[in-house]
Amino acid sequence: MDIGVEGKVVIVTGATANIGRAIALDFAAERAKLVAVGRDAEAGGRVVAEALARGASAAIFVQADLLDPASPARILAAAEALGPVAVLVNNVGGNVGAGFFVDSTPESWQGDIDITLMTTLRMTHAVLPGMIARKTGRIINIGSTAGLVGDYMLPIYSAAKSAVHGFTRVLAKEVGPHGITVNCVAPYGTVAEDPAAYSKGSRFHPDSGFFKNAFTGVAPEDMKKRARTGPLARPVARPEEVSAAVLYLASSRSDFVTGQIMQVDGGTLL
């Protein structure tokens, strides 16, 4: 299906692994001009090569850490060299650790807020003036079901994702009169089947050890409380399923959809 992004500039942050990688490659298959953003240059090169092989009108990688407040301006400049930005996908997010709030520190709070909320605010703030001037644009944030119900032992991450959802709704009200839609996709846990889908900086990379370290010493009964089940046999989403929702929200078929939080959760919240 032609979703109407051929030849248009699409920025995808966190594009080197898992959900972001799937989104980037799916936009490439729709012949968009892809701007893939990430920290791992080697993985970024692989994404660009595959994007071009899938039919992207153009594809570049911008190595940037969105925790750096100066990064959005540099990303925008690289993107605008290809043309006006039509779509922004704010995919960067995550948590710096896990545990009970009573045991947390202000430093850990700030880590989750910076990576999950502030990256979204900064990148959106960079692209928005151009979209308003052109009276058109799509902003798609990646939220989480954690922002809807709260993930056990992830209190600040859950709060930050909830803030992303709230930001989505209020920004949709502000910029709708300018022809811009703002929506959010909220997946449950999402895991790629191919280990090659993870860059070195990904928490899911085999060498990361992030999850093992984050939950070291957690009691088995508490680990059980973290799991959610739904009516489907498979417990997690695949990146391509999350990407499909993103591409719909970027397409001409969603012109009358804005301010929505679209769940891709296998029915875990039923």
Q: Contact 270/223 with Cβ under 8 angstroms?
A: no
Distance from the Cα of residue 180 to its chain's centroid: 19
Side-chain half-sphere CA neighbours of 37 within 13 A: 26
pLDDT at 152: 92
Per-residue pLDDT tens digits for 117-157: 999 999 999 999 999 999 999 999 999 999 999 999 999 99
Q: Which residues of the chain have pLDDT under 70?
A: 1, 193-217, 225
Domain ranges of the chain: 9-264
pLDDT at 97: 87
pLDDT at 200: 60
How many Å apart are CA 187 and CA 242, to the nearest integer?
Answer: 7
pLDDT at 196: 63
What DSSP string runs through 195-211?
A: GGG--TT-TTSTTT-HH
Alpha-carbon radius of gyration of the chain: 18
**Packing angle between helix 155-175 and helix 119-134, nearest 10 degrees?**
10
pLDDT at 172: 98
157 is catalytic: yes
Pick from 79, 77, 57: which is nearest to 12 by CA? Answer: 79
pLDDT at 190: 76
Rounded to 5 degrees, φ, ψ at 237 are -85, 160
How many Å apart are CA 120 and CA 260, to the nearest integer?
Answer: 16
Please, what sign has the CA dihedral across residues 129, 132, 133, 136?
positive
pLDDT at 212: 57
CATH tag for 9-264 (out of 3.40.50.720, 3.40.50.2000, 2.40.30.20, 1.10.357.10): 3.40.50.720
pLDDT at 144: 96
pLDDT at 191: 79
pLDDT at 189: 82
**Packing angle between helix 119-134 and helix 71-80, nearest 10 degrees?**
40
Q: Contact 264/16 with Cβ under 8 angstroms?
A: no
Residues comprising the chain, all counted: 270
pLDDT at 203: 56
pLDDT at 205: 52
User: Which helix H or strand E contains 61, and what residues bound it?
Assistant: strand 58-63
pLDDT at 154: 95
Q: Contact 24/45 with Cβ under 8 angstroms?
A: no
157, 188, 198, 248: the active-site residue: 157
pLDDT at 138: 98
pLDDT at 122: 98
What DSSP string runs through 25-57?
A: HHHHHTT-EEEEEES-HHHHHHHHHHHHHTT-S
